[in-house]
Structure 1
Amino acid sequence: MGLYVETRIRAGLDEVWDRSQLPDRHQRWDLRFSEIDYLPCAPGEPQRFRYATRVLPLLTVHGTGVSAGERNRPDGTRTSALRFASAHPLSLIEEGRGYWRYIPDGAEVRFLTGYDYRPRWGRFGRLADRLVFRPLMGWATAWSFDRLRLWCERGITPERSLRHALAELFVRIAAVLVTAAVMPLAVAVGPVLAVAGAALLLPPLPGTPAARRCLRRPPERTAGHGGSAAAPTALLATLEQS
Structure 2
Amino acid sequence: MRPKPLYVETVIRTDLDTLWHHTQDPALHRRWDLRFTEIRPLDGLDGHFRYASRFLGVTVEGIGVSVASRDWPDGGRTSVLRFASADPLSLISAGAGFWRYTPVPGGVRFVTGFDYGTRWGRFGQLADRVFRPVFGWMTAWSFDRLRLWLETGVPPEAQPLTAPSAARCVRTRPRARVTAGASS
Q: Aligned pair 1:209/2:164, yes or no?
A: yes
1:156-196: per-residue Cα shift (whole Å, max 9, x none)?
Answer: 211112xx12xx5xxxxxxxxxxxxxxxxxxxxxxxxxxxx
Matches within 5 A, 1:65-80: 65-70=64-69, 72-80=71-79
Runs of 4+ in 1 over 4 A off after TM superposition: none
Report the counterpart of residue 52 of structure 1 in structure 2. 52
User: Greater helix share, 1 or 2?
Assistant: 1
Report the counterpart of residue 27 of structure 1 in structure 2. 30
Q: Post-superposition shift, 1:213?
A: 0.4
What runs of 5+ residues in structure 2 fail to find an aligned partner?
A: 178-184
- Deviation larger for 69-78 or 3-12: 69-78
Contact 1:69 1:78 (C-alpha < 8 Å) held by counterparts: no
Matches within 5 A, 1:64-143: 64-70=63-69, 72-130=71-129, 132-143=130-141
**What code does the residue aligned with 1:216 have?**
R
**What code does the residue aligned with 1:124 have?**
F
User: Greater strand share, 1 or 2?
Assistant: 2
How far apart, in 2, do the equivalents of 1:146 and 1:123 lie? 33
Matched positions, count: 175
How far apart, in 2, do the equivalents of 1:212 and 1:86 lie? 29
How far apart, in 2, do the equivalents of 1:4 and 1:86 lie? 21
**What code does the residue aligned with 1:219 have?**
P
Q: Per the alignment, in what secondary structure is the counterpart of residue 109 of structure 1?
A: strand
Q: Post-superposition shift, 1:90?
A: 0.7
Report the counterpart of residue 147 of structure 1 in structure 2. 145
How far apart, in 1, do the equivalents of 2:70 and 2:155 lie? 25
Q: Post-superposition shift, 1:218?
A: 1.8
- Give identity over the alignment, percent: 59
Q: CA RMSD for the aligned pairs?
A: 1.8
Q: Per the alignment, in what secondary structure is the counterpart of residue 71 of structure 2?
A: coil
Q: Aligned pair 1:36/2:45, yes or no?
A: no
What runs of 5+ residues in structure 1 fail to find an aligned partner?
A: 169-207, 223-242
The structure whose Rg is larger is: 1
Q: Per the alignment, in what secondary structure is the counterpart of residue 24 of structure 1?
A: helix
Q: Post-superposition shift, 1:150?
A: 0.1
TM-score, with length taken from structure 1: 0.68
How far apart, in 2, do the equivalents of 1:62 and 1:72 lie? 31
Report the counterpart of residue 2 of structure 1 in structure 2. 5
- When residues 84 and 112 of structure 1 are mapped into structure 2, their CA distance, relative to the original with a 3 A threshold, is same
Q: Per the alignment, in what secondary structure is the counterpart of residue 93 of structure 2?
A: strand
Q: Post-superposition shift, 1:143?
A: 0.2
How far apart, in 1, do the equivalents of 2:36 and 2:65 lie? 15
- When residues 92 and 113 of structure 1 are mapped into structure 2, their CA distance, relative to the original with a 3 A threshold, is same
TM-score, with length taken from structure 2: 0.89
